[in-house]
Amino acid sequence: APRLGALARDLGVVALRFSGKGHGGEAPGVLLHEDSLGVSLAFEPGVFVQANREMNAVLVETATVAAGGGGRFVEVYAGAGNFTVHLGARFDRGQALESDRRAVSALRHNVAARPGRVEVLRERDARSAGRLSSSAPADLLLADPPRAGMRALEPIWREAPPGRIVMVSCHPMAAVRDLKALARAGYRLEEVVAVDMFPGTHHLEIVATLSR
């Protein structure tokens, strides 16, 4: 196990698991670290982070440049803060929403270590949609949904439409469905960028930028 742990560190692998036991920093209370376009993100073992470090830099840069800057942003499915730590520096204030307890803990830690006024809330997407749809529209909504897509968020753009939406999708067909719904709600698709996060497979990450 110590030799495998040393090899993992040399190769940039943050954690190993075999025969039910974790190695390479997977002890309770130990934080792992991953790079997000030059920013170190801390997270507990088991919290989702992107597997391809080099292409994650492309993904983050594409999404944050598309997001621009302004007064207030809302990010849904924020995870450990892969995009949040950069949005916090571009907007006057913002809210980052995530449902997973461990991810929220990491998100709060990572946001606190960076400049910006970002409120972190632990909420499921349906509750987030209900609350945000009854509040003032944000300048930006950034969403990095699971494979099911953004259907649960539709009340937001129907009742409190953000000026700009950046969608990061890991499922192209779900993305097409979501883009159709956004077009019906009055959004215009400005740009779609495909990021080959998993070379040699059919999986793609898509960054779509829309405005009203």
- Cα 191 versus chain centre, distance: 19
List the catalytic residue out of 97, 165, 170, 175. 170
pLDDT of residue 33: 87
Q: Which residues contact 79 (CB under 8 A, 6 or more apart)?
A: 47, 48, 49, 98, 100, 103, 107, 144
Distance CA 16, CA 13 (A): 8
pLDDT of residue 31: 76
| Structural tokens at position 24 | 């390479």
Cβ–Cβ under 8 Å, residues 88 and 113? no
- Smallest CA-to-CA distance from 87 within 112, 59, 109, 68 is with 68
Half-sphere exposure for 188 (CA within 13 Å, toward CB):
3
Distance CA 75, CA 66 (A): 14
Cβ–Cβ under 8 Å, residues 168 and 59? yes
Q: Which residues contact 119 (CB under 8 A, 6 or more apart)?
A: 93, 94, 95, 96
Residues of the chain with pLDDT under 50: 20-28
Q: Which secondary-structure segment (H or E) carries 183?
A: helix 172-184
Q: Reply yes or no on whether 170 is catalytic.
A: yes
Q: What is the pTM of this model?
A: 0.86
pLDDT of residue 160: 96
pLDDT in tens, 87-131: 999 999 999 999 999 999 999 999 999 988 999 999 999 999 999
| Residue 199 vs residues 51, 54, 58, 205: alpha-carbon distances, Å | 12, 12, 14, 11
